[in-house]
Amino acid sequence: MSKVTELKTLFIDLNDRSSDNAISDSIAELKNSGYSQVNLEVKTSTEQEVIKMQIDIDLFQRIKEIQEIPDWVIVKLIMDCGKLKDSGFKERITNG
């Protein structure tokens, strides 16, 4: 696929059934304008991900304050910690 250019942004509330009409109308408008392909990106807020993934909010805030890194990096860090637990990672990077 060649480089893409953002043409239009459509905010959709998945809990609102009238959003179905907005999606259909936008797709029809794009097709009628001569477009044959679209790239759908799903974006969410960090707050929504923290709640959805049941991440410890106090831990999240402490990491954010101490490390001064973007929210999305903290979410990925917390989610990946569990994956490393039984991987022998600690032993591989230390002497014991």
Q: What is the pLDDT of residue 81?
A: 64
pTM: 0.45
Q: Band of the pLDDT at 91, cuts 50, 70, 90?
A: low
The encoded tokens of residue 74 equal: 């903290």
Residues of the chain with pLDDT > 90, as a percent, come to: 6
The encoded tokens of residue 50 equal: 């923290």
When pLDDT is averaged across residues 43-60 and rounded to a whole number, the result is 79
- The Cα 82–Cα 89 span in angstroms is 12
**Contact present, 29 and 40 (Cβ < 8 Å):** no
The larger pLDDT score, comparing residue 81 to residue 7, is at 7
- Per-residue b or e along 33-69, where b marks 16 or more CB atoms closer than 10 Å to that residue's CB: eeeeeeeeeeeeebeeebeeeebeeeebeebeeeeee
pLDDT tens for 6-21 read 777 888 888 888 888 8
